[in-house]
Chains A and B, each alone.
Chain A
Amino acid sequence: MDVDTAPQRKLRRQVLWFVLAALLLLGALLGGVAWKQGAFAKTTQLFFFARSAVGMNKGMAVKFRGFRIGTVEEIALEPNGSVKVRLLIDSAYTRFVPQDSKAHLTKEGMIGASIIEIQSGASGASPVANNGVLAFARLRDFNDIAEELADQIQPILEDVKKVTAFANDPDGDLRQMIKNLNQSAAALLETRQEISRLVQNTDQRLGTIAGRLDGVLVSAGERLDQVGASLKTLDKKIPDLMLKVDTSLDNARAATANIKKITEEGVEQVPGILRDGKAVAEDTREILGGAKKSWPVRNFVPAPPETLIPLDSHDSGSASRK
């Protein structure tokens, strides 16, 4: 028969208290961790439906304006082929999620993790209820933007390629033009040298001519002296001639002025109706001609005889004006 001794019983009690304390501490630790993880927080269950689950996974964060407010709890394929995503949102934040809010699949930064971003709807709507359904849209990510950019850049790159090929083509217009320009520049240089030589030669010739001109001028001076003597003689006779010329010029001037005045007046006065009258007369002639050829008028109107242009003796004496 076992009989516990007092020291043994005391030791057993101490061990028991230690285990109990350890268990309590472990339980408190677990409870603290669970509380920290939101295990005791009150949550609201929300749903959205997407066409594809690409980029989504269970446990991914649900954020509102950069703050985590929940997680993706479940992703399931529905019988109709759509993807049903269940979210658990901390009920404390549902006030930020009105009923018309939208869930977006996006990334945090260019290369960050994928998240579900909640975008608030119009203000004034009541907060979403438990088991509520949100609208879903997949925002364009970097890949989408890169693909779009690539689509836009592709034709530009092709054009650049063509231009480069054109510029590099040795038989192309650009290369030929540059070649011609080079040749023209060389020709211009030669021309400039020719002009320089020509100017130099001209200078020399001018020097020679100037020497000869001196002799000619001396000779001309002698002749001018002779002319001067003749002019003195003419000076005495010119006044009489000028008097006669003046009289004739006066007559001519008066006649010219009259002709000019008459011409100007005539331009204004000759009526334009003369020209119109010609057209009207022509029309009338045609109408009358037609009438005369028509029965019964033609029986009453005798044919006009053909006429001779009058023989006028004045015609032979003066040319007619046209």
Chain B
Amino acid sequence: MQRAGLVLSCVPAILLLVACAGAPSEPQSARLAQAADYNRRGEVALKQGDHRRALALYEAALRTDLSVENLDGVAINSINLARVHQMLGEDVLAHRRLDALLGGGEVFSREYIAAARLRKAMLYQAANDLDAAASWAAQTADLCKDSSCIWQGTLLNLRARLALARGDFAGTLAFAGRALGINRGRDAREEAANSLRLQAAARIGQKEFAAALALLDEALALDKALGLPQRIERDLLHMAEAHAGLGHVDAARALRTRAARVAAQEMKVDRR
């Protein structure tokens, strides 16, 4: 018993020695740590669907990064704020965030400039301003010419979507095909599923319903694996459309019912 008590009493002393003896790491800036904490909490709030809280937290992260001129942090949080504004339907504010970033000259890295331009293109595309979206997509492509650009697969998918919106099915298939290759190579499964879905939509537009169904089966499998209800719903609706095109009325109806079920469950979970 005496020996055990002696060992126990030595534990705090040993811990203290270990702490002192350990190689001191790079002095950590409390401000940077605080900004990172805000950023991470913003991400959590966004996942929980609390957009207003996410907005406040990313705002706090941006202010903190600005106070220590952490350029990467400023860029990241500005783009994040633009995305949250877009989710809240505040497109004007979203553009303002991105414009502030893009007007900052070349102080930010190419990676984030490209990301900001791509986000602008997406904003315009979502607003159905196809010309502006195409313009910003082209500007993004200027910075995203080689495979080192991590946004290349996403950019190509966006251009495919723009082509689809214009009824250019061949162009859609071309962009989405390139995007699929890149996304698979990067193991970007979400974007790969997007590429497949875009290809399927183009095939449906070309009345190649059987081909579309094959693509959608693959997209659906990916989206299910990733657990993305909105995309599963979209896949099912495309499949219903393809089946309807093939004259499979019952199958089309069943798929639409499945899509409605997925949408209903997703809304319930969102409300929680």
Contacts and interface: CB of A to CB of B under 8 A. Distances in A.
Nearest to A292: B33
Interface residues of A, number: 42
Nearest to B252: A251
B190 A259 contact: no
A294 to B, nearest CB: 11
A316 B125 contact: yes
Contacts, number: 131
B253 A254 contact: yes
- Scoring A263, A305, A309 by chain B CB atoms within 10 A of each residue's CB, the highest score goes to A309
Contact of B43 (A254, A262, A270, A307): A307
Interface string B70-95: 00110011011001101110000000
A315 B126 contact: yes
The interface residues of chain B, by DSSP majority, are classed as helix
A95 interface: no
Contacts of A309: 43, 46, 79-80, 83-84
B87 A322 contact: yes
Given A251-B253, A299-B24, A314-B231, A266 B265 contact: yes
B35 A306 contact: yes
Interface string B148-171: 000100110110010000000000
A145 interface: no
- Scoring A258, A263, A295, A312 by chain B CB atoms within 10 A of each residue's CB, the highest score goes to A312
Contacts of B161: 313, 316-317
Contacts of B155: 313
A304 B122 contact: no
A315 to B, nearest CB: 6
Contact of B79 (A254, A308, A317, A319): A308
B138 interface: no
A296 to B, nearest CB: 4
Contacts of A278: 48
Given A296-B19, A311-B115, A306 B191 contact: no
B22 interface: yes
Contacts of A289: 37
Interface in A171-228: none
Interface in B22-72: 22, 24-25, 28, 30, 32-33, 35-37, 39-41, 43-44, 46, 48-49, 51, 61, 65, 72
10 contacts: A266-B269, A285-B44, A303-B32, A304-B40, A308-B112, A309-B79, A312-B154, A313-B158, A316-B133, A322-B270
Given A259-B264, A308-B115, 7 more contacts: A306-B61, A306-B72, A307-B40, A307-B76, A310-B190, A314-B230, A316-B123
- In the A-B complex, the 7 residue pairs with the smallest Cβ-Cβ separation, listed nearest first, are A313-B157, A316-B122, A296-B19, A306-B39, A266-B268, A316-B125, A262-B264
Interface of B: 19, 22, 24-25, 28, 30, 32-33, 35-37, 39-41, 43-44, 46, 48-49, 51, 61, 65, 72-73, 76-77, 79-80, 83-84, 86-88, 112, 115, 118-119, 121-123, 125-126, 133, 151, 154-155, 157-158, 161, 179, 190-191, 194, 230-231, 234, 253, 256-257, 260-261, 264-270, 272
